[in-house]
Amino acid sequence: MSDRERPRLKEIQYVALGASDLDRSLSFYQGDLGLALNSTAPGWAFLDTGAVTLCLSEQLGQSIDRSVGATEVVFTVDDIDQAHRSLRDLGVEFDADPHPAAEIEWAANFRDPDGHRLTIFGPNRSE
């Protein structure tokens, strides 16, 4: 296939995650993570994360084969320690404390109510 025939993919606009209980997932993403709800449709919720809209889907939640693939959604933060502390205080359970993940960036991983791996990623301002 020549370059001329290939479709040109652009930026990612949506990321969809399965939600077995949409209300529970919305409580987590809105209440604990502080994401703003853009809109809803039957079985769907659309959350504002900046350039990419995070979609929660009951249909995907019912059809997920948990053994297929690995997915991680990464949220940037301005201060990893502050974000980690705030989320932990809200009851978010982390897999591990913040740790170096790149030359000057740190990461901390946790899971949403359906087990999707989520990460906060940013500088460690308290170092």
Q: Are 111 and 62 in contact (CB under 8 A)?
A: no
Which helix (H) or strand (E) element contains residue 80?
helix 80-89
**What pLDDT is attached to residue 7?**
72
Give tens-digit pLDDT for 50-68: 999 999 999 888 876 655 5
The answer on pLDDT for 33 being more than 70 is yes
- Please tell me the pTM assigned to this model: 0.80
118 SS3 class: strand
Tokens of 95: 């897999």
